Amino acid sequence: MVMPGTDRTGLAGPLRRALAEAGWLPSGDAGPAPAGQAFRGDAAEPVVGVDLGGTKLHAVLYDPAGHRLLDRVERTDPRGGTAVTSQIAQLVASLTAAAGGAGRPSRVAVGCPGAPDPATGAVGHAPNIPGWDRMNVPADLEARLGTRPLVHNDANLAAWGEHVWQPGGGGDLAFVAVGTGVGLGLVLGGRMYAGSRGLAGEMADLPFGADPFDPANLVHGPLEQQVSGSGIERRYHELTGRRCPAPEVFAAAAGGDPAAAQVLDELGRLLALALRAVRAIVDPATFVLGGGIGSRPETLAATRRWLTVTEGESLQVRTSTFGARAAVAGALAAAVAA
């Protein structure tokens, strides 16, 4: 697994402008347009970023010739394994054809849940993508794409995107993704940090929120049992006897439901504990909350309330610039520098 390096293609500036023009970044973040941009060698070839989730597959192609973004979203093939690698390859081919390209992109980066092992290419800790823990994912994708893709944990790529595309972003950064699960992406010393076996940031395994020795919590992790969409739904059911999807729990809290408000307060408390645990080990300059639940303003407010109790204003926490697009924005940044 190759780490992204310095952009040698001249594409980063134009791509930043394309992201701003497409509304992914505030318009003022586009930066100055390089005069007379001349692409060298294969730099004018498209780059592709892919965000693979347990239920959704999102791919985005940047076409430098037309200075445009093309994207496709599909439901992830539930069979996993080679069915998913084939689906990714077909999606990339579809985007390339839509951009008018006859060949294949030479720069592709894929974000996925779990822990890609840099030695074997297998992706562990990804129960929603069956079979990927028993195959060399980058090698299989290379055979289908015709180019060796970068494969990274999706939260790490989300952290990378926030780091690269934010003007003056700099500094160490931790991206905490909260949605169907919980994950952590780290950018330390200007590089994504995944650990020796790709397991750095698997914060679902933090030993609080639920009993870490209960076998029932060994698949998704004790923290994830509570800090996730299903955790919110489960806790609300415990308090009220009613089953309610997580978005409706947020709506109920806004409407004055005391049980829903308690659930969100407990969510903020557990997230504050998790951020303090991460801070104790790597002490990032900034925490970014993302994912369907993490990017909600109510989640940020509840987390800040508990952090204020214990930390004052010492932890810098904000929501993601890119929202649901964070991982694919990071994948594009990694592909440009490949």
Q: What is the per-residue pLDDT across 50-66, written as a single tens digit (0 to 9) for each?
A: 999 988 999 999 999 89
Q: In the predicted model, is pLDDT for residue 260 greater than 60?
A: yes
Please give the average per-residue pLDDT across 294-310, as a whole number: 93
Q: In the predicted model, is pLDDT for residue 102 greater than 80?
A: no
Specify if 248 maps to a domain.
yes
Same domain as 90, residue 197? no
pLDDT-derived band at 1 (thresholds 50, 70, 90) equals very low
User: What gap in Å lies between CA 16 and CA 13, rounded to an integer?
Assistant: 5
Parent domain of 124: 12-161+325-336
Q: Identify how many contiguous H helices and E strands the chain contains and give both numbers.
A: 11, 12
Same domain as 154, residue 16? yes
Q: In the predicted model, is pLDDT for residue 174 greater than 50?
A: yes
Give the pLDDT score at 200. Answer: 86
Residue located via tokens 């940044």: 333
Residues present in the chain in total: 338
Among 85-99, 163-177, 298-312, top mean pLDDT goes to 85-99
Q: In the predicted model, is pLDDT for residue 244 greater than 80?
A: yes
pLDDT-derived band at 31 (thresholds 50, 70, 90) equals low
Specify if 187 maps to a domain.
yes
Same domain as 250, residue 154? no
Same domain as 315, residue 196? yes
Specify if 47 maps to a domain.
yes
What is the gyration radius of the CA atoms in the chain, in angstroms?
20
Give the pLDDT score at 136. Answer: 98
pLDDT-derived band at 313 (thresholds 50, 70, 90) equals low
Specify if 209 maps to a domain.
yes
Specify if 4 maps to a domain.
no
pLDDT-derived band at 208 (thresholds 50, 70, 90) equals confident
Same domain as 259, residue 302? yes
Same domain as 198, residue 58? no
Provide the percentage of residues in the chain whose pLDDT is more than 70: 89
Please list, in sequence order, all residues whose beta carbon lies within 8 angstroms of the beta carbon of residue 313, skipping any fewer than 6 positions away: none
The angle that helices 326-336 and 154-165 make with each other, rounded to 10 degrees, is: 70
Among 160-164, 228-232, 257-261, top mean pLDDT goes to 257-261
- Measured distance between the N- and C-terminal CA atoms of the chain, rounded to whole angstroms: 11
Q: In the predicted model, is pLDDT for residue 338 greater than 70?
A: yes
Bridge partner list, 51: 58, 111
Same domain as 156, residue 40? yes
Same domain as 172, residue 144? no
Same domain as 33, residue 149? yes
Same domain as 121, residue 220? no
Specify if 5 maps to a domain.
no
Going by the DSSP 8-state scheme, the letter that residue 116 receives in this structure is: E
Same domain as 81, residue 38? yes
Specify if 176 maps to a domain.
yes
Specify if 96 maps to a domain.
yes
The structural domain count of the chain equals: 2
Please list, in sequence order, all residues whose beta carbon lies within 8 angstroms of the beta carbon of residue 94, skipping any fewer than 6 positions away: 72
Please give the average per-residue pLDDT across 73-89, as a whole number: 97
Give the pLDDT score at 212. Answer: 85
Same domain as 197, residue 75? no
Domain of 191, CATH number, reads 3.30.420.40
